[in-house]
Amino acid sequence: FAPWTDPNEKPLIQFKGVTKRFGDFTAIDNLTQDIYAREFFALLGPSGCGKTTMMRMLAGFETPSEGQILIAGQDMSRVPPNKRAVNMMFQSYALFPHLTVFDNIAFGLKREGKPKDEIEARVAEMLRLTRLERFAQRKPHQISGGQRQRVALARSLAKAPKLLLLDEPLGALDAKLRQQTQFELVDIQEKTGTTFVIVTHDQEEAMTVASRVAVMDEGRIVQVATPSEIYEQPNSVYVADFIGEVNIINGVATPQGDGYDIAWAESQPPLHAQTTRGFSDGQSCHLAIRPEKISISTEEPETRNKVRGTVHDIAYLGNLSTYHVRVPGERIIKAQTANTRRLSRRALTWEDDVWLSWTDTAAVMLEE
Ligand code: ATP
Helices (H) and strands (E) in the chain, counts: 8, 20
Q: How much is the pLDDT for 128?
A: 93
Query: Closest ligand 1 atom to the C-alpha of 216?
Result: 6
Cα–Cα distance, 193 to 344 (Å, whole number): 50
Q: How much is the pLDDT for 92?
A: 66
Which of 189, 210, 241 is a domain's end point?
Answer: 241
Query: In a mutational test of the pocket of ligand 1, which residue from 28, 43, 51 has the highest number of ligand atoms less than 8 Å from its CB?
Result: 51
Which of 241, 262, 295 is a domain's end point?
Answer: 241
Residue 345: pLDDT over 60: no
Under a CB-based contact definition with an 8 Å cutoff, are residues 31 and 41 in contact?
A: no
Q: How much is the pLDDT for 344?
A: 47
Q: How much is the pLDDT for 357?
A: 96
For residue 350 and ligand 1, the question of a CB distance below 6 A is answered with: no
For residue 51 and ligand 1, the question of a CB distance below 6 A is answered with: yes
Residue 135: pLDDT over 70: yes
Query: Closest ligand 1 atom to the C-alpha of 22?
Result: 29
pLDDT in tens, 299-318: 999 998 999 999 999 998 88
If asked whether residues 13 and 113 sit together in one domain, one would say yes
CATH for 20: 3.40.50.300
Mean pLDDT of 172-198: 90
Cα–Cα distance, 152 to 143 (Å, whole number): 12
Under a CB-based contact definition with an 8 Å cutoff, are residues 285 and 279 in contact?
A: yes
If asked whether residues 313 and 227 sit together in one domain, one would say no
pLDDT in tens, 18-51: 999 999 999 999 999 999 999 999 999 999 999 9
Under a CB-based contact definition with an 8 Å cutoff, are residues 57 and 19 in contact?
A: no
CA of 44 to the centre of ligand 1 (A): 14
For residue 52 and ligand 1, the question of a CB distance below 6 A is answered with: yes
Under a CB-based contact definition with an 8 Å cutoff, are residues 131 and 138 in contact?
A: no
Instruction: For residue 50, give its domain range.
Output: 3-241
Residue 342 — pLDDT band, cuts 50, 70, 90?
Answer: low
Cα–Cα distance, 46 to 202 (Å, whole number): 9
If asked whether residues 236 and 292 sit together in one domain, one would say no
For residue 27 and ligand 1, the question of a CB distance below 6 A is answered with: yes
Mean pLDDT of 158-164: 92
For residue 22 and ligand 1, the question of a CB distance below 6 A is answered with: yes
Residue 318 three-state SS: coil
CA of 61 to the centre of ligand 1 (A): 13
CA of 32 to the centre of ligand 1 (A): 19
Number of independent structural domains in the chain: 2
If asked whether residues 47 and 73 sit together in one domain, one would say yes
Q: Which of 88-102, 180-194, 210-224, 310-324 has the lowest mean pLDDT?
A: 88-102
